[in-house]
Amino acid sequence: SVLIKLTTGKISITTSSGEYITASGPMLIFLAKDQTIHITMEETHEQLNYNLIELDSASIKNAYNFFLYEHADFSAPLTKPTTKHLLAPIETGVARVFNLLHSSNKSQKLSQDKKEYLIRFLLSEFIYEPEAFALFRELSQNTLAENIYNIIISDISRKWALKDISDSLYMSCSTLKRKLKQENTSFSEVYLNARMNKATKLLRNSEYNITRVAYMCGYDSASYFTCVFKKHFKTTPSEFLAFLSSSRHQYVN
- CB contact burial 62-93 (16+ within 10 A = b; e otherwise): bbbebbeeeeeeeeeeeeebebbbbbbebeee
Q: How far apart are CA 180 and CA 165, in angstroms?
A: 12
Tens-binned pLDDT, residue by residue, of the chain (253 aa): 999 999 999 999 998 889 999 999 999 999 998 888 888 888 888 888 888 898 988 899 999 998 887 765 555 556 788 899 999 999 889 999 999 998 876 666 788 899 999 999 999 999 888 899 899 988 988 889 999 999 999 999 999 999 999 999 999 999 999 999 999 899 999 999 999 999 998 998 777 899 999 999 999 999 999 999 999 988 999 998 888 777 654 443 3
Half-sphere exposure of 159 (CA within 13 A, CB side): 2
Backbone angles phi, psi at 87, to 5 degrees: -125, 145
Helices 237-245 & 187-204 angle (0-180, nearest 10): 40
Which domains, and CATH codes, for the chain?
2-139 (2.60.120.810), 144-246 (1.10.10.60)
pTM of the model: 0.81
Instruction: Give strand pairing partners of 89.
Output: 27
Specify the long-range contacts of residues 208-213, CB closer than 8 Å, at least 24 apart. 210/237, 210/238, 210/241, 213/237
DSSP string, 103-156: HHHHH--S-HHHHHHHHHHHHGGGTTSTTHHHHHHHHTS--HHHHHHHHHHTTT
Query: How high is the pLDDT of residue 75?
Result: 57
